[in-house]
Structure 1
Amino acid sequence: MSAYLIFVVHSAHDKALLQKYRDEAIPVVKSQGVKFFAGPVINAALENGPVDSSVVLEFPTVEDAQAWYKSPEYEPLKAMRQAAATSTTFIVESWPEGL
């Protein structure tokens, strides 16, 4: 089943660094065959806002999503995002077909 790695940026402490992260992360995502599934957020948090931005990446499996998140290519970018913003990152798995 597909898995989705979801990034939710609640607030940016350093907008320039967050933009640098985005500029550098996009080629890494594309080079590894990861699919951009959804994003960016429309500034319309329905609960527990605020939300500055969000991105959903699609992977074939949860294991693939975890491996990408821990990959040497993404590690330095992860540190950059964490320094630039307060965010939440998590993985969800798709529902079984027919549910």
Structure 2
Amino acid sequence: MPAYVVLTRERTHDAKEMEQYATKAKAAREGHDPKPLAFYGDFEVMEGSDMEGAVILRFPDMAAARAWYQSDAYQEARKHRFQGADYRVFIVDGVEEA
């Protein structure tokens, strides 16, 4: 069953840290092959707190999503995200396609 990692950027504090995050996070995807379904495109908040943007990555399953998130390469990138912006990040099981 597919799994989705959803990252919502709520507020940016340091653009330079986010530039480093973007470079390192892109490199951290290598070997994990997530499929980007949304990547900071146009959006509209219909309910809830405002945000600056969102990313949705599809992985084959929860184990693959966790392996990417917990990888040394992404953990290194994540440090810059923590310094650069406030995010909400979660992994959710998808449903089998009919």
Between the two proteins, the alignment pairs up a number of residues equal to: 98
Q: Calculate the TM-score normalised by the size of structure 1.
A: 0.86
Partner of 1:58: 58
Shift of 1:18: 1.1
Shift of the 71–4 alpha-carbon distance from structure 1 to 2, 3 Å rule, reads: same
Residues 1:18 and 2:31 are matched in the alignment: no
For residues 46 and 77 of structure 2, the distance between their equivalents in structure 1, rounded to whole angstroms, comes to 29
Shift of 1:31: 4.3
Partner of 2:28: 28
Partner of 2:71: 71
Shift of the 47–59 alpha-carbon distance from structure 1 to 2, 3 Å rule, reads: same
Instruction: Provide structure 1 residue ranges, at least 5 long, that are not aligned to the other structure.
Output: none
For residues 38 and 26 of structure 1, the distance between their equivalents in structure 2, rounded to whole angstroms, comes to 14
Partner of 2:88: 88
Shift of 1:67: 1.4
Instruction: Provide structure 2 residue ranges, at least 5 long, that are not aligned to the other structure.
Output: none
Note if contact 2:2-2:96 (Cα within 8 Å) is conserved in structure 1.
no
Note if contact 1:43-1:51 (Cα within 8 Å) is conserved in structure 2.
no
Shift of 1:43: 4.5
Which has the larger displacement, 44-53 or 67-76?
A: 44-53
Superposed CA RMSD in Å reads 1.6
Question: Which secondary structure does the structure 1 equivalent of 2:92 belong to?
Answer: strand
Shift of 1:42: 2.0
Shift of the 19–46 alpha-carbon distance from structure 1 to 2, 3 Å rule, reads: farther
Runs of 4+ with deviation above 4 angstroms: none
